[in-house]
């Protein structure tokens, strides 16, 4: 039986009562975290234009656009909120699956919840958990097939479909069709990173929109492909040349949930930067290092060339915000010069900061074979001054389940994100959202949350 059929059945039949407490807590953290990154992403380049265009399209007012307010169709709202949620590259990461999971499933789930109205917290948590689970399992199954795919949107189409379809109450057959319809749309590529293009963030919005559309079409009776993952022309055959591990798709399905293995980001940049940033901040806590005294910085990496250090000239001298988000040299230099890495460090002006760029040009990657692993690699930074050499190795980056951010830390991140919104949110709304997400299982209607952030 095709794995997509098995996953569809599990998605339909897994209830809130089947979820372990750890999965419920992780899902609540992911919901709050994704809402925060969506609010902060509202001011990012490209997002006002997307919102304006979607408002031009109009349509029945079903679901709220975060920060900008007003309602659009569920499909359009999912697109807008999904794109904003991924704009700062500040959203969750599954370090083993190498993707972001909540940013497609959660906007889709909120869009459908508002469309149908009166969705309780238990059902919402279950829908998000299963949507995240499908996305992450697909990422784990991929054995790093043909280069070029961005896995967040590619698999996020399916996670968003499951989250939306579960809230709609799709039958098993309808959910199978919905996944087939999602497969007809699924895409996502890395060219946006090479070119520093804003489509990196928009691809998450496309996936959230596509998942909502797939679920609604299946609800109407539209039939999608049945063997979407493992058929002769299924996704893992066509996109990955059968280079995948099937057991990750279905082993423990409905019993173990990958939402518990999500990492959350303390810094608004590509997750691969994080162990290097942790290393820098650990060094700075141990002793002051004057950036002006630094002669050279070596960052030890697990690939040669490493995508966050290549082309080195671009990563040292970022042309665009996307270049900076995906640059170890820029982020390490920023941390050393400013003692922090925050949302304000990723603007067109900030990435041209002369002191940061000068120090970034002293950063050199060195391949270290012992650091090769599938999950997020360790980070090692060596800083040489005229009088000393400082070195720090970080095995597990902050935010990982084995070095976690708790709900209080996610709440603080949410508050910080709210301060970067395209328009200010009332402080009482910010605090109320944190409270409601922390006790979501008690809510009779989760759509109150979107009213607070809209």
For residues 126 and 8, membership in a common domain is answered with yes
For residues 199 and 345, membership in a common domain is answered with no
For residues 371 and 408, membership in a common domain is answered with no
Look at residue 398 in the predicted model and tell me its pLDDT: 97
Length of the chain: 454
144 vs 239: which has the higher pLDDT: 239
Mean pLDDT, rounded, of the chain: 96
Determine which helix (DSSP H) or strand (DSSP E) holds 181, and give its type and residue range.
Answer: helix 172-183
pLDDT grade, residue 350 (50/70/90)?
Answer: very high
Determine which helix (DSSP H) or strand (DSSP E) holds 405, and give its type and residue range.
Answer: none
CB 357 within 8 Å of CB 302: no
Look at residue 145 in the predicted model and tell me its pLDDT: 61
CA–CA gap between residue 59 and residue 70 (Å, rounded):
12
For residues 46 and 146, membership in a common domain is answered with yes
**DSSP assigned state of 273:** G
For residues 281 and 258, membership in a common domain is answered with no
**Does the structure show a pLDDT above 90 at 193?**
no
Look at residue 144 in the predicted model and tell me its pLDDT: 74
Q: Which of 394, 414, 439 is the last residue of a domain?
A: 394
Q: Which of 359, 375, 394 is the last residue of a domain?
A: 394
**Does the structure show a pLDDT above 80 at 83?**
yes
pLDDT grade, residue 376 (50/70/90)?
Answer: confident
Which range marks the domain in which residue 378 is found?
Answer: 271-394
CA–CA gap between residue 341 and residue 267 (Å, rounded):
6
Number of compact structural domains in the chain: 2
Question: Structure tokens of 362?
Answer: 């002293």
CB 56 within 8 Å of CB 49: no
For residues 147 and 253, membership in a common domain is answered with yes
What does the pLDDT look like over 360-374, one tens digit per residue?
999 999 999 888 776
Residue where the block lists tokens 């579960």: 166
What does the pLDDT look like over 308-348, one tens digit per residue?
999 999 999 999 999 999 999 999 999 999 999 999 999 99
Q: Which of 366, 394, 422 is the last residue of a domain?
A: 394
Look at residue 194 in the predicted model and tell me its pLDDT: 84
What does the pLDDT look like over 32-57, one tens digit per residue?
999 999 999 999 999 999 999 999 99
CA–CA gap between residue 292 and residue 285 (Å, rounded):
18
**Does the structure show a pLDDT above 70 at 406?**
yes
Q: Is the dihedral of CA 325, 327, 330, 334 positive or negative?
A: positive
For residues 361 and 259, membership in a common domain is answered with no
Look at residue 196 in the predicted model and tell me its pLDDT: 85
Q: What is the CATH number of the domain that holds 134?
A: 1.10.4100.10
For residues 19 and 158, membership in a common domain is answered with yes
| Nearby residues of 335 by Cβ (< 8 Å), 6 or more positions away | 277, 280, 281, 284, 341
For residues 193 and 298, membership in a common domain is answered with no
88 vs 304: which has the higher pLDDT: 88
Tell me the DSSP string of 18-77: GS-HHHHHHHHHHHHHHHHHHHHHTTSTTHHHHHHHHHHH-----EEPTTT--EE-HHHH
How many other CB atoms sit within 10 Å of the CB of residue 445?
A: 14
For residues 24 and 161, membership in a common domain is answered with yes
Average pLDDT over residues 4-25: 98
For residues 433 and 300, membership in a common domain is answered with no
Look at residue 146 in the predicted model and tell me its pLDDT: 58
**Residue 17 phi, psi (nearest 5):** -65, -20
**Does the structure show a pLDDT above 80 at 400?**
yes
CA–CA gap between residue 162 and residue 12 (Å, rounded):
8
Q: What is the CATH number of the domain that holds 358?
A: 3.30.1330.120
For residues 328 and 436, membership in a common domain is answered with no
């Amino acid at each position: 039986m095709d794995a997509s059929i098995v996953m569809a059945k599990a998605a339909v039949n897994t209830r809130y009562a089947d979820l372990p407490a750890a999965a419920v807590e992780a899902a609540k953290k992911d919901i709050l975290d994704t809402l925060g990154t969506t609010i902060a992403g509202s001011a990012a380049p490209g997002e006002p234009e997307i919102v304006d265009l979607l408002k031009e399209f109009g349509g029945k007012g079903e679901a709220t656009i975060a920060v900008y307010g007003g309602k659009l169709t569920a499909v359009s709202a999912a697109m807008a909120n999904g794109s904003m949620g991924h704009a700062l590259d500040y959203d969750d990461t599954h370090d083993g699956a190498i993707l972001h999971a909540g940013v497609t499933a959660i906007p889709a789930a909120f869009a459908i919840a508002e469309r149908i109205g009166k969705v309780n917290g238990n059902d919402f948590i279950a829908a998000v958990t299963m949507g995240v689970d499908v996305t992450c399992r697909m990422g784990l199954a991929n054995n790093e097939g043909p280069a070029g795919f961005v896995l967040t949107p590619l698999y996020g189409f399916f996670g968003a479909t499951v989250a939306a379809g579960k809230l709609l109450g799709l039958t098993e057959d309808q959910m199978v069709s919905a996944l087939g319809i999602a497969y007809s749309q699924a895409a996502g590529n890395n060219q946006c990173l090479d070119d520093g293009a804003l489509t990196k963030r928009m691809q998450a919005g496309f996936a959230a929109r596509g998942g909502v559309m797939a679920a609604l079409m299946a609800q109407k009776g539209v039939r999608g492909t049945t063997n979407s993952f493992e058929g002769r022309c299924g996704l893992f055959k066509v996109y990955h040349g059968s280079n995948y591990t099937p057991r990750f798709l279905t082993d423990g399905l409905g019993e173990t949930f990958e939402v518990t293995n999500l990492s959350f980001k303390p810094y608004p940049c590509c997750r691969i930067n994080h162990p290097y940033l942790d290393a820098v901040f650990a060094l700075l806590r141990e002793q002051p290092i004057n950036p002006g005294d630094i002669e050279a910085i070596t960052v030890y990496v697990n690939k040669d060339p490493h995508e966050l250090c290549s082309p080195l000239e671009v990563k040292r001298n970022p042309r665009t915000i996307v270049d900076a988000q995906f640059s170890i040299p820029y982020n390490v230099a920023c941390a050393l010069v400013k003692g922090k890495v925050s949302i304000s460090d990723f603007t067109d002006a900030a990435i041209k900061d002369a002191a940061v760029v000068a120090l970034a040009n002293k950063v050199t990657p060195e391949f270290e074979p012992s650091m090769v692993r599938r999950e997020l690699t360790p980070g090692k930074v060596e800083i040489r001054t005229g009088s000393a050499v400082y070195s720090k190795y970080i095995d597990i980056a902050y935010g990982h389940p084995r070095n976690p951010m708790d709900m209080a830390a996610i709440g603080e991140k949410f508050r910080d994100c709210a301060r970067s919104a395209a328009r200010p949110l009332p402080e009482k709304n910010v605090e109320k959202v944190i409270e409601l997400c922390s006790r979501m299982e008690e809510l009779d209607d989760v759509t109150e949350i979107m009213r607070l952030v809209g």
